[in-house]
Chain A
Amino acid sequence: MNSPGMERAVGLFVIGGLLCLGYFAFQLGSSEIRPSETYTIEARFNSVAGLNPGAQIQIAGVPVGSVGKLSLGKDFSALVELRIRKDLQLSADTMASIRSHGLLGDQYVSLTPGGDDRLLAPGERITDTESSVDILQLLGRFAFGSVNSDKKTSSPTPEKTPPAEEIPLKP
């Protein structure tokens, strides 16, 4: 039936496979920023819909940390723990925005450092934030319209107040 040589070969193959699996798992883990190499700050958002713990934190598209736990503030705002690389010093007027990779891609936190001389200390809170934009809500508003109590008085002229993102620096 099965020779001892064959059993040994299968055993070695399984052990080899497990070693490879362990090696790749270690490599994958080490590519992320370890908790010991980070410090934590907090950001307050009005909404973090779609953002998950572990999501990337980026500056200019470069990963610099990851999102920790999400919690609810006293005023029902969303508090997000941001784990930032220790070697990175952020100015006190740094802004945090929730962005997504593509239209329906994963959400991440984008940081935009400012010009303040004071630096954010561990545990400090960023309140200058931009919350996630709810695509479905926007689509719903587009499809069904928005609540309009002055419909009777409104004229059919197009809306003249664009959101800030549509206002370019250079016309």
Chain B
Amino acid sequence: MLQNLKPSGFAPIVALVCGSSISLAASATNQSSNAKAVLEHGVRDAISILEKEKSGTASSVLSKKVRPIAEKIFNFESITRKALGQSWKDLSPEQQKQAVALFSEILIRKYVSHFVTDNKPQLTFLSPQDLGNGRLEISSTTLSGGNSYSVIYRLETSSTGWRVYDVNIEGVSLVSNYRSQFDSVRQRSPGNSEALLQAMKDSLQP
């Protein structure tokens, strides 16, 4: 059939293929730009909320205020699953839900308290890098209290759009850091999935 087509007959096909490729590339660029915009706005909004808070405010109070924004940026289910690593399979579906709730609370509380400072941190976000398989990496620099930190956000596509599944601060990955800690808990109490949940609950105790 292709042999029967005259050279001029290929033109519409070539145009269609080129057009599709260009529109796909443009769509991918738009998606990554959108991911950067969502991340940047989310982080800035969270900092704006925390700016109004006084240092010394309970982290549980800060967490409640920031959680709605954090849930728009972070995929806590994915972060928890990755951080728990092999321990994730040991948990029942009910325990997994509980783990996501507890771990997201730990993360929010740990991080919000560090942003309640007198100085507004200066954030610079760079262009997203495509990691393939529906993943992106957005590098940023946080300038706060006289020091500059390199913070890399790793995002993945989900049904709700781009969400962060790992944060890499100065070369140290959040997921890797917690995975090694959860692995230690798992090795200390093999087969005891409650020990993991208890470790998380203990971590939330004031």
Contact = CB atoms under 8 A, between A and B. Distances in A.
B105 interface: no
A16 B35 CA distance: 69
A115 B84 contact: yes
Interface size class of B (residues with CB under 8 A): 35 or more
Contacts of A129: 173
Contacts of A133: 170-171
Nearest to B110: A167
A97 B180 CA distance: 12
A169 B184 CA distance: 11
Interface of B is mostly: mixed
User: What is the interface of chain A mostly: helix, strand, loop, or mixed?
Assistant: loop
A106 to B, nearest CB: 18
Contacts of A127: 131-133, 135, 137, 154
Contacts of B149: 161, 163
A125 interface: yes
A88 interface: no
B33 interface: no
A104 to B, nearest CB: 17
A41 to B, nearest CB: 14
A114 B85 contact: yes
Interface stretch (B8-16, B21-29, B67-75, B112-120): B112-120
A114 B82 contact: yes
B199 A131 contact: no
A153 B121 CA distance: 11
Contacts of B199: 169-170
Contacts of B43: none
Given A115-B81, A164-B169, A159 B145 contact: yes
Contacts of B175: 95, 128
Interface string B134-147: 01010000111111
A164 B172 contact: yes
B34 interface: no
28 contacts: A44-B131, A77-B129, A93-B85, A95-B179, A112-B85, A112-B180, A113-B85, A115-B85, A115-B87, A115-B89, A125-B132, A127-B154, A128-B154, A128-B173, A132-B171, A148-B148, A149-B122, A149-B143, A153-B119, A154-B119, A157-B118, A160-B145, A161-B114, A162-B114, A164-B167, A164-B169, A164-B177, A165-B172
